Amino acid sequence: MSQKTAKTWSLRLLPFLLSFISFVMYYCSYSILQSYGGTSKSPNSSKALCGGWLTQKKWESLNFNSSRQTQLFLRLKDFFWKEHRSKLPLPYGVKGSEFLLLKVLAITANYQMPANLENLECRTCVVIGNGFVIKNSSLGDIINKYDVVIRLNDAPVKGYEEDVGNKTTMRFFYPESASYNPGLQNEPDTLMVLVPFKMHDLRWLKEILYNEKRVRKGFWKPPPQIWLGDVNKIRVLDPHFLHQTADKLLHLLPPKGKQNPVHPTTGLLSIFVALNYCDVVHVAGFGYPSSKNHRQPIHYYGRETMKSMKNSYHDLNHEAKALKRLEESGAILYLHPHL
């Protein structure tokens, strides 16, 4: 065989070789995860996830300025600071919403994470997206073994336990995505974390907490007029995290003129919060089908398709690239195959 012919064959075989290496790497990591499914121990109990993942420290180069001591939620005493006043309005700051927040935080009893999580030497976390890709994955038992399980909006658990598990540590939501009775799909100790995208979101929670007359204007979809959330489990996410997600992950510029604003999805926000709070962050249920296929279901539940995302305030292609960067840097690991 001539040198030219050998070179040609090498170039032809290169893509297959790279695909094989990628498959082997994924299979090895997935096999480790599956090994947890056959034991009653959580991933954290053996410290295997914290000490064993070679990718654990590689994402420090992304400069998230994260800390395991991060305060995730707004506290009443934060509004008595004189030197750190917010310069931005919601969703990236609290300027102009201070009075509403004072009312909300005065009646909610706690601003902390549970002590059993705060005191862990290593926190293993999994963020469960609502994507169709998690359907028929049989990941439920694995998901339940993480220290922190974060879910999004009103995604159901009952009837889908085999694929998505039934443990929920935190559920991120906003009024339009709230279920009127959180107790139906969550555990009693689940923290309900409000993500305030606009002043109306805080007003909605204030009216619920104080049993005031509901104002229906200001929402793109009518939120529940009755909400049975446990006051002791309500938290309000610090808008700092949404600002940092938009800035450091998506590099979004402030909208100019009458341009429609583009904000991070609740899912990407939740991943960023997890990266700031947890030692190990895994994800499942993330990934949208091609935007050209408007009939493809987008969730593991219900019948919504890509058509429903047409006029959303999110840039899904931009977010997909951000997720890819996080995966390649070692910041996150998917629990299932994905595009």
Q: What is the CATH number of the domain that holds 114?
A: 3.90.1480.20
Residue 262: the pLDDT is 80
217 is a domain residue = yes
152 is a domain residue = yes
C-beta of residue 194 within 8 angstroms of C-beta of residue 217: no
Q: What is the DSSP letter of 247?
A: I
| Three-state DSSP state, 308 | helix
For residue 294, give its domain range: 16-334
223 is a domain residue = yes
- 330, burial (CB in 10 Å: exposed 0-12, middle 13-18, buried 19+): middle
193, β-bridge pairs: 172, 235
Rounded Cα gap, residues 163 and 159, in angstroms: 9
Residue 47: the pLDDT is 55
Q: How many residues does the chain have?
A: 339
Which has the closest alpha carbon to 225: 216, 237, 233? 216
C-beta of residue 301 within 8 angstroms of C-beta of residue 71: no
For 58-70, the DSSP string reads: GGGGG-----TT-
pTM equals 0.83
Residue 235: the pLDDT is 97
Residue 54: the pLDDT is 42
162 is a domain residue = yes
Rounded Cα gap, residues 182 and 201, in angstroms: 17
Residue 271: the pLDDT is 96
| Three-state DSSP state, 131 | strand
Residue 62: the pLDDT is 66
10 is a domain residue = no
Between helix 316-329 and helix 266-277 the angle, nearest 10°, is 20
Looking at the 3D structure of the chain, how many domains does it have?
1
290 is a domain residue = yes
Residue 101: the pLDDT is 94
C-beta of residue 53 within 8 angstroms of C-beta of residue 83: no
Radius of gyration of the chain (CA): 21
244 is a domain residue = yes
Residue 110: the pLDDT is 85
Residue 30: the pLDDT is 47
Split the chain (339 residues) into runs of 10 and give each run's mean pLDDT.
51 47 43 43 53 53 62 86 76 93 91 92 94 95 97 97 98 97 97 97 98 94 96 95 91 62 91 92 86 77 74 74 91 90
Residue 39: the pLDDT is 35
Rounded Cα gap, residues 136 and 282, in angstroms: 18
4 is a domain residue = no
Residue 242: the pLDDT is 94
Residue 86: the pLDDT is 82
